């Protein structure tokens, strides 16, 4: 099955995830990466459940590792950034904080696809320790200008991954 055929089948069950026998195909890291690359070309709000599932798989594959940053993690996080649902910020923060390399290598911009102010407000309302830690980090990054070019952010990664 091709990545685009897989995406078409998953979209037929949206907004829910498809049955496990279909989802099992993305347990293969190479196929998962191909699906992420293909999905990034046309991702929409109906792909949110799949995007969250892909990101969780990538988080789980790095959990417990003392180091490691992957293009797979970056691509699946980019999906959620493009969808721009503020409720994905905690999962994206979890991805950012999996290990030392993800803290350094996964861009903070990926957390704010719904907007910087909207993301801060949402995380502040959640009020848990992780969310407030993310708020503090985002506010520090905003102060240094890290969000000055969000209008072109996703396009830079699209160019990188299209090669």
Note down pLDDT in tens along the chain; length 163 residues: 999 999 999 999 988 999 999 999 999 989 999 999 999 999 999 999 999 999 999 999 898 766 789 889 999 999 999 999 999 999 999 999 999 999 999 999 999 999 999 999 999 999 999 999 999 999 999 999 999 888 888 777 777 666 6
Instruction: Name the residue among 113, 47, 112 with its Cα closest to residue 82.
Output: 113
Q: What's the pTM value of the predicted model, to 2 decimals?
A: 0.92
Query: Which residue is associated with the tokens 């792909």?
Result: 47
Which residues lie closer than 8 Å to 163 by C-beta, 6 or more apart? none
Instruction: Name the residue among 136, 78, 134 with its Cα closest to residue 110.
Output: 78
Based on the structure, what is the number of domains in the chain? 1
**By the 8 A CB rule, do 134 and 123 touch?**
yes
Instruction: Name the residue among 85, 78, 97 with its Cα closest to residue 36.
Output: 78
Instruction: Name the residue among 61, 47, 38 with its Cα closest to residue 161.
Output: 38
**Residue 154's pLDDT is what?**
76
Q: What are the φ/ψ torsions at residue 99 (nearest 5 degrees)? A: -155, 180
- The residue segments making up the domain with residue 42 are 3-161
Q: What is the spatial distance between Cα 92 and Cα 55, in angstroms, rounded to a whole number?
A: 8
**Residue 66's pLDDT is what?**
64
On the CB side of 123, CA atoms within 13 Å amount to: 27
**Residue 112's pLDDT is what?**
96
**Residue 157's pLDDT is what?**
75
End-to-end CA distance of the chain: 22
């Amino acid at each position: 099955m091709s990545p685009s055929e897989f995406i078409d089948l998953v979209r037929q069950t949206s907004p829910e995830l498809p049955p496990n026998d279909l989802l099992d195909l993305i347990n293969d890291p190479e196929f998962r990466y191909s699906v992420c690359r293909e999905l990034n070309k046309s991702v929409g709000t109906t792909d949110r459940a799949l995007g969250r599932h892909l990101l969780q798989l990538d988080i789980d594959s790095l959990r417990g590792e003392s180091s490691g940053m992957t293009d797979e993690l970056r691509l699946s996080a980019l999906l959620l950034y493009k969808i721009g649902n503020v409720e994905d910020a905690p999962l994206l923060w979890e991805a950012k904080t999996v290990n030392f390399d993800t803290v350094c290598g996964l861009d903070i911009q990926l957390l704010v696809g719904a907007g910087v102010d909207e993301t801060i407000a949402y995380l502040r309302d959640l009020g848990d320790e992780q969310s407030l830690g993310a708020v503090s980090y985002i506010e520090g990054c905003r102060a240094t200008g890290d969000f000055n070019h969000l209008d072109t952010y996703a396009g830079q990664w699209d160019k990188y991954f299209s090669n």
